[in-house]
Amino acid sequence: MAAGPGGLNRFYLLLGAALVAGGGVLAYVLTRKQAVSIPANPMISVSDTSGFSGYYLGSDSATLTVTEYADYECPACQQWAMVQFPSIRERLVTTGRVRWRYRDFPLDMHRHSRVSAHAAACADEQGKFWEMNELIYSWGGDWPVKRDASGVFRDFAMRIGVDLAVYDACMVSGRYAGRIAAGRIEGTATGVTSTPTFLINGRLYPGGGTVHYDMLKAMLDSLAGRPAN
Protein backbone atom coordinates (compact mmCIF):
# COMPACT_ATOMS: atom_id res chain seq x y z
CA MET A 1 0.00 0.00 0.00
CA ALA A 2 1.35 3.42 -0.99
CA ALA A 3 2.31 5.82 1.79
CA GLY A 4 0.18 8.89 2.21
CA PRO A 5 1.45 12.45 2.14
CA GLY A 6 1.97 12.42 5.91
CA GLY A 7 4.07 9.27 5.72
CA LEU A 8 6.23 10.70 2.93
CA ASN A 9 6.82 13.87 4.91
CA ARG A 10 7.93 11.87 7.92
CA PHE A 11 10.21 9.78 5.71
CA TYR A 12 11.94 12.82 4.23
CA LEU A 13 12.29 14.44 7.66
CA LEU A 14 13.97 11.31 9.00
CA LEU A 15 16.18 11.06 5.91
CA GLY A 16 17.24 14.69 6.29
CA ALA A 17 18.04 14.20 9.96
CA ALA A 18 20.13 11.15 9.12
CA LEU A 19 22.08 13.05 6.48
CA VAL A 20 22.76 15.94 8.86
CA ALA A 21 23.92 13.55 11.58
CA GLY A 22 26.10 11.66 9.13
CA GLY A 23 27.60 14.90 7.88
CA GLY A 24 28.39 15.90 11.45
CA VAL A 25 30.18 12.62 12.10
CA LEU A 26 32.13 12.97 8.86
CA ALA A 27 33.13 16.55 9.71
CA TYR A 28 34.32 15.43 13.15
CA VAL A 29 36.41 12.62 11.69
CA LEU A 30 37.97 14.94 9.16
CA THR A 31 38.70 17.85 11.52
CA ARG A 32 39.56 16.22 14.83
CA LYS A 33 43.22 16.41 15.89
CA GLN A 34 45.17 13.20 15.51
CA ALA A 35 46.51 11.67 18.71
CA VAL A 36 50.12 12.48 19.53
CA SER A 37 52.31 9.61 20.69
CA ILE A 38 56.10 9.79 20.80
CA PRO A 39 57.85 6.39 20.88
CA ALA A 40 60.30 5.74 23.70
CA ASN A 41 62.70 3.56 21.71
CA PRO A 42 62.74 4.82 18.11
CA MET A 43 65.31 4.09 15.48
CA ILE A 44 67.91 6.87 15.72
CA SER A 45 68.91 8.19 12.30
CA VAL A 46 71.92 10.22 11.19
CA SER A 47 69.73 13.32 11.03
CA ASP A 48 69.04 12.98 14.77
CA THR A 49 72.70 13.42 15.65
CA SER A 50 74.49 14.93 12.65
CA GLY A 51 74.58 18.70 12.99
CA PHE A 52 72.52 18.65 16.18
CA SER A 53 74.03 18.44 19.66
CA GLY A 54 71.41 20.26 21.71
CA TYR A 55 69.55 23.54 22.01
CA TYR A 56 71.94 26.43 22.57
CA LEU A 57 71.52 29.82 24.15
CA GLY A 58 74.25 32.45 24.40
CA SER A 59 77.49 33.30 22.65
CA ASP A 60 79.61 30.53 21.15
CA SER A 61 82.67 32.44 22.40
CA ALA A 62 81.53 32.35 26.04
CA THR A 63 84.11 31.41 28.66
CA LEU A 64 81.98 28.60 30.04
CA THR A 65 79.54 26.13 28.48
CA VAL A 66 76.97 24.43 30.69
CA THR A 67 75.02 21.40 29.51
CA GLU A 68 71.72 20.77 31.25
CA TYR A 69 70.16 17.29 31.07
CA ALA A 70 66.54 17.62 32.08
CA ASP A 71 62.99 16.32 31.87
CA TYR A 72 60.06 18.76 31.56
CA GLU A 73 57.92 16.70 33.93
CA CYS A 74 60.60 16.46 36.64
CA PRO A 75 59.58 18.61 39.67
CA ALA A 76 63.20 19.45 40.54
CA CYS A 77 63.82 20.53 36.93
CA GLN A 78 60.71 22.70 36.96
CA GLN A 79 61.70 24.33 40.24
CA TRP A 80 65.22 25.01 38.99
CA ALA A 81 63.98 26.40 35.67
CA MET A 82 61.61 28.81 37.39
CA VAL A 83 63.86 29.90 40.30
CA GLN A 84 67.53 29.64 39.31
CA PHE A 85 67.69 29.82 35.53
CA PRO A 86 66.14 33.29 35.01
CA SER A 87 68.95 34.94 37.00
CA ILE A 88 71.64 32.87 35.27
CA ARG A 89 70.18 33.67 31.87
CA GLU A 90 69.91 37.40 32.51
CA ARG A 91 73.25 37.93 34.26
CA LEU A 92 75.54 35.36 32.66
CA VAL A 93 74.08 34.00 29.41
CA THR A 94 72.81 37.21 27.80
CA THR A 95 76.01 39.01 28.81
CA GLY A 96 78.08 36.50 26.83
CA ARG A 97 79.89 34.84 29.75
CA VAL A 98 78.07 31.49 29.70
CA ARG A 99 76.71 29.44 26.84
CA TRP A 100 73.83 27.15 27.72
CA ARG A 101 73.15 23.77 26.11
CA TYR A 102 69.92 21.94 26.82
CA ARG A 103 69.56 18.22 26.24
CA ASP A 104 66.44 16.14 26.72
CA PHE A 105 66.75 13.36 29.26
CA PRO A 106 63.22 11.89 29.43
CA LEU A 107 62.51 9.71 32.44
CA ASP A 108 60.41 6.61 31.85
CA MET A 109 58.36 7.25 34.98
CA HIS A 110 56.86 10.40 33.46
CA ARG A 111 53.87 10.08 31.13
CA HIS A 112 54.39 13.33 29.22
CA SER A 113 58.19 13.64 29.20
CA ARG A 114 58.62 12.76 25.52
CA VAL A 115 55.53 14.58 24.24
CA SER A 116 56.61 17.77 26.03
CA ALA A 117 60.14 17.44 24.65
CA HIS A 118 58.72 16.90 21.17
CA ALA A 119 56.51 19.99 21.52
CA ALA A 120 59.63 22.03 22.27
CA ALA A 121 61.42 20.47 19.27
CA CYS A 122 58.50 21.39 16.99
CA ALA A 123 58.61 24.97 18.31
CA ASP A 124 62.34 24.98 17.58
CA GLU A 125 61.53 24.37 13.90
CA GLN A 126 60.10 27.88 13.91
CA GLY A 127 62.83 29.44 16.04
CA LYS A 128 60.81 29.37 19.27
CA PHE A 129 62.50 26.69 21.38
CA TRP A 130 63.40 28.81 24.39
CA GLU A 131 59.99 30.48 24.48
CA MET A 132 58.35 27.05 24.44
CA ASN A 133 60.83 25.69 26.97
CA GLU A 134 59.89 28.45 29.41
CA LEU A 135 56.15 27.93 28.99
CA ILE A 136 56.36 24.16 29.38
CA TYR A 137 58.39 24.55 32.57
CA SER A 138 55.82 27.02 33.91
CA TRP A 139 53.53 23.96 34.22
CA GLY A 140 50.66 26.20 33.16
CA GLY A 141 47.36 24.44 32.67
CA ASP A 142 48.45 21.80 35.20
CA TRP A 143 49.61 19.70 32.27
CA PRO A 144 51.62 17.16 34.32
CA VAL A 145 48.42 15.84 35.93
CA LYS A 146 46.39 15.62 32.73
CA ARG A 147 45.74 12.35 30.96
CA ASP A 148 46.53 14.01 27.61
CA ALA A 149 48.64 17.17 27.76
CA SER A 150 49.07 17.72 24.01
CA GLY A 151 46.25 20.29 23.93
CA VAL A 152 48.01 22.39 26.58
CA PHE A 153 51.25 22.30 24.58
CA ARG A 154 49.32 23.38 21.48
CA ASP A 155 47.93 26.32 23.45
CA PHE A 156 51.49 27.23 24.40
CA ALA A 157 52.51 27.05 20.74
CA MET A 158 49.69 29.41 19.83
CA ARG A 159 50.76 31.84 22.57
CA ILE A 160 54.32 32.09 21.27
CA GLY A 161 53.09 32.70 17.73
CA VAL A 162 54.10 29.63 15.75
CA ASP A 163 52.29 28.49 12.64
CA LEU A 164 49.87 25.98 14.17
CA ALA A 165 49.37 23.99 10.98
CA VAL A 166 53.11 23.40 10.76
CA TYR A 167 53.30 22.66 14.50
CA ASP A 168 50.41 20.16 14.32
CA ALA A 169 51.99 18.32 11.40
CA CYS A 170 55.29 18.18 13.27
CA MET A 171 53.68 16.77 16.40
CA VAL A 172 51.71 14.08 14.56
CA SER A 173 54.83 13.05 12.62
CA GLY A 174 56.83 12.30 15.76
CA ARG A 175 59.92 13.06 13.71
CA TYR A 176 62.04 14.21 16.65
CA ALA A 177 61.59 11.04 18.70
CA GLY A 178 65.09 9.93 17.67
CA ARG A 179 66.60 13.27 18.67
CA ILE A 180 65.00 13.00 22.11
CA ALA A 181 66.23 9.43 22.53
CA ALA A 182 69.72 10.50 21.46
CA GLY A 183 69.77 13.07 24.26
CA ARG A 184 68.97 10.34 26.78
CA ILE A 185 71.70 8.08 25.34
CA GLU A 186 74.27 10.90 25.42
CA GLY A 187 73.44 11.74 29.01
CA THR A 188 73.60 8.12 30.12
CA ALA A 189 76.99 7.69 28.45
CA THR A 190 78.19 10.82 30.26
CA GLY A 191 77.08 9.40 33.60
CA VAL A 192 73.74 11.13 34.13
CA THR A 193 71.39 9.14 36.35
CA SER A 194 68.89 11.78 37.46
CA THR A 195 67.48 15.14 36.45
CA PRO A 196 68.41 17.88 36.42
CA THR A 197 72.11 17.16 36.00
CA PHE A 198 74.60 19.72 34.71
CA LEU A 199 77.86 19.07 32.87
CA ILE A 200 80.43 21.82 33.47
CA ASN A 201 84.12 21.55 32.53
CA GLY A 202 83.90 17.77 32.31
CA ARG A 203 82.30 17.37 35.74
CA LEU A 204 78.71 16.38 36.52
CA TYR A 205 76.65 18.34 39.05
CA PRO A 206 73.40 16.46 39.85
CA GLY A 207 70.46 18.19 41.46
CA GLY A 208 69.06 21.66 41.01
CA GLY A 209 70.44 22.97 44.30
CA THR A 210 74.09 22.77 43.29
CA VAL A 211 74.04 25.02 40.21
CA HIS A 212 73.03 28.64 40.72
CA TYR A 213 74.23 32.11 39.79
CA ASP A 214 76.78 32.46 42.63
CA MET A 215 78.30 29.05 41.88
CA LEU A 216 78.74 29.82 38.17
CA LYS A 217 80.04 33.31 38.92
CA ALA A 218 82.69 31.86 41.25
CA MET A 219 83.68 29.35 38.56
CA LEU A 220 83.98 32.14 36.01
CA ASP A 221 86.09 34.15 38.44
CA SER A 222 88.40 31.18 38.85
CA LEU A 223 88.70 30.57 35.12
CA ALA A 224 89.25 34.22 34.27
CA GLY A 225 91.47 35.03 37.22
CA ARG A 226 89.35 38.07 37.98
CA PRO A 227 85.84 38.81 39.31
CA ALA A 228 82.90 38.52 36.91
CA ASN A 229 80.25 41.18 37.13
Judged by phi (left if over 0) then psi (alpha if -120 to 50, else beta), residue 142 lies in left
| 185, part of any domain | yes
Residue 51 pLDDT level (bands cut at 50, 70, 90): confident
Claim to verify: residue 171 and residue 220 sit in the same structural domain: yes
Claim to verify: residue 7 and residue 106 sit in the same structural domain: no
Claim to verify: residue 109 and residue 213 sit in the same structural domain: yes
Question: Closest Cα to residue 36, out of 196, 133, 149?
Answer: 149
Provide the domain count of the chain. Answer: 2
Residue 11 pLDDT level (bands cut at 50, 70, 90): very low
Between CA 220 and CA 109, with CA 129 as vertex, the angle to 5 degrees is 90
Claim to verify: residue 24 and residue 80 sit in the same structural domain: no
Claim to verify: residue 204 and residue 103 sit in the same structural domain: yes
Read off the pTM. 0.82
| 124, part of any domain | yes
pLDDT digits (tens, 9 = 90+) for 56-65: 999 999 999 9
pLDDT digits (tens, 9 = 90+) for 15-46: 455 444 444 433 333 334 566 888 888 888 88
**pLDDT surpassing 60 at residue 118:** yes
C-alpha 33/C-alpha 55 separation (Å) is 28
Claim to verify: residue 151 and residue 78 sit in the same structural domain: yes
Q: What is the dihedral of CA 108, 173, 100, 61, to 10 degrees?
A: 150
pLDDT digits (tens, 9 = 90+) for 132-175: 999 999 999 999 999 999 999 999 999 999 999 999 999 999 99
pLDDT of res. 201? 93
Domain with 23, as residue range(s), is 1-32
Sheet of 64-70: strand order equals 55-57, 98-104, 64-70, 197-200, 203-206
Claim to verify: residue 50 and residue 133 sit in the same structural domain: yes
Return the CATH number at 202: 3.40.30.10
C-alpha 174/C-alpha 225 separation (Å) is 47
